């Protein structure tokens, strides 16, 4: 009887564990795709033909954008910087140097540069169909004996925002040129997290989830060319040539 009871107990435990294991993910972990953010201006001028020297401040995300360190946004920013440098050169401008911050320009840099360009990338996400977080209760308990919940995001987000470009005469810090580029709206980016998380929040773990990375990467890639087409049209050497008298006047007032 004891042997029969022991056998029945072992059979029940074995059945329980095999049933609970069904909820575990057995599929291969999604591979994060490689996204090509690239733009080439259709109108390439002669190098340095514009006669305008640019001090370029590295593009950065708006301070309120908390997830600039997530991989997909780091990759986007780095590609943006590289293509911006190529575009400036293709338009006939001369890049004096690329600086981490405006404050890194030396006095000699400010004397030589006609204009310093500062770029702020300000993306925003909204969830038109609710926040999309789902609660899961796996067969696990916390140390206190309470049921441990996990969360996954299933839904869609809209990707919007703008890129602000400010041109300043370097010596005086006077703003002489401002443009704002709307990030073309992508109204519905479908997202379903691969992993489940301890709390329903949009943080670095969420944005680095392979499914989220791939969905947002595809959306950003769709927008990339349209962003640079606007930027291409704004970086017109003729407009900067018209600023030359103002630049000269501002410099003359600030030279020590």
The pLDDT tens digits for 76-89 are 999 999 999 999 99
Average of per-residue pLDDT across 82-107 = 95
Per-residue pLDDT reduced to its tens digit, 141-176: 556 666 778 889 888 888 889 999 999 999 999 999
Report the pLDDT averaged over residues 179-196.
88
Mind listing the pLDDT tens digit for each residue in 103-117?
Answer: 999 999 999 999 999
* Residue 211 dihedral angles phi and psi, to the nearest 5°: -70, -40
How far is Cα 189 from Cα 154, in angstroms, rounded to an integer?
A: 11
DSSP 8-state code for residue 86: H
103 CB-contact burial (10 Å; exposed 0-12 / middle 13-18 / buried 19+): exposed
- Is 0.85 topped by the overall pTM? no
Answer whether 22's CB lies under 8 Å from 205's CB: no
- What is the average pLDDT across 241-248? 95
Average pLDDT of every residue of the chain: 83
The pLDDT value given to residue 55: 97
**SS3 letters across 242-256:** HCHHHHHHHHHHHCC
Between 209 and 21, the more confident residue is 209
Domain range 49-245, its CATH number among 3.30.160.180, 3.30.360.10, 3.20.20.140, 3.40.50.720? 3.30.160.180
The sign of the torsion formed by the CA atoms of 135, 138, 144, 146 equals positive
């Amino acid at each position: 009887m004891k042997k029969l009871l022991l056998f029945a107990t072992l059979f029940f435990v074995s059945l329980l564990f095999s049933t609970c294991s069904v909820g575990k993910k057995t599929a291969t972990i999604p591979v994060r795709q490689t996204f090509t953010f690239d733009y080439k201006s259709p109108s390439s001028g002669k190098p340095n033909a514009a006669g305008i020297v640019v001090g370029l401040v590295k593009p950065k995300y708006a301070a309120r954008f908390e997830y600039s360190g997530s991989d997909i946004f780091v990759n986007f920013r780095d590609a943006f910087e590289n293509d911006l440098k190529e575009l400036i050169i293709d338009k006939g401008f001369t890049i004096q140097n690329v600086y981490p911050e405006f404050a890194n320009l030396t006095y000699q840099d400010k004397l030589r540069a006609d204009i310093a360009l500062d770029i702020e990338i300000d993306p925003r996400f909204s969830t038109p169909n609710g926040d999309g977080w789902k609660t899961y209760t796996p067969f696990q308990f916390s140390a206190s004996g309470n049921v441990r919940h996990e969360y996954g995001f299933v839904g869609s987000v809209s990707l919007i925002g703008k890129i602000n470009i400010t041109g300043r005469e370097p010596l005086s810090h006077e703003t002489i040129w401002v443009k704002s580029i709307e990030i073309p709206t992508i109204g519905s980016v479908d997202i379903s997290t691969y992993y489940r998380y301890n709390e329903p929040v949009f943080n670095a773990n969420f944005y680095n989830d392979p499914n989220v990375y791939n969905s947002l990467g595809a959306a950003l890639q769709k927008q990339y060319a349209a962003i640079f087409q606007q930027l291409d049209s704004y970086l017109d050497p003729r407009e900067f040539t018209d600023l030359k008298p103002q630049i000269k006047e501002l410099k003359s007032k600030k030279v020590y």
